[in-house]
Amino acid sequence: MSYSDVLLHINGTWRKSHSGQTIPVLNPATEEVIDSVPRGTEKDPHAAVDAARAAFVKEPPLGSPLLALDNVVLTPHLGGRTLDGQRRMGELVIENCLRALRGEAPLHRVE
């Protein structure tokens, strides 16, 4: 997969950024432009938040079959906004960067 194949996933659809603009992806060793990714604007996350609000009036949705699964944890949008949650996200970013520099796959890959 090429970086230029990357799209934003918002409200169940894959699409380019609202602006249609892209950001260059650089090879960190040579600073050569090797590809590009969508450049999101303030409209893109707003569209995602609006879609999420429309999908779940109550968080988590009561009576959802997802609640019966052992491998699913549903939290309100603010569940990841704790100090510990933010610290852990930072640690994951650092770990994924280090793994990439070592040529390893990231811990959590999104495709």
Give the integer Cα–Cα distance in Å for 24 and 35: 6
Per-residue DSSP letter, 110: -
Looking at per-residue pLDDT, the higher value among 11 and 31 belongs to 31
pLDDT of residue 30: 92
Closest CA to 77 of 99, 104, 58, 103: 58
Share of the chain above pLDDT 70, in %: 76
Share of the chain above pLDDT 90, in %: 3
* pLDDT of 4 higher than 60: no
Query: How many Cβ atoms sit within 10 Å of the Cβ of residue 57?
Result: 8
Looking at per-residue pLDDT, the higher value among 106 and 55 belongs to 106
Tell me the whole-structure pTM to 2 decimals.
0.37
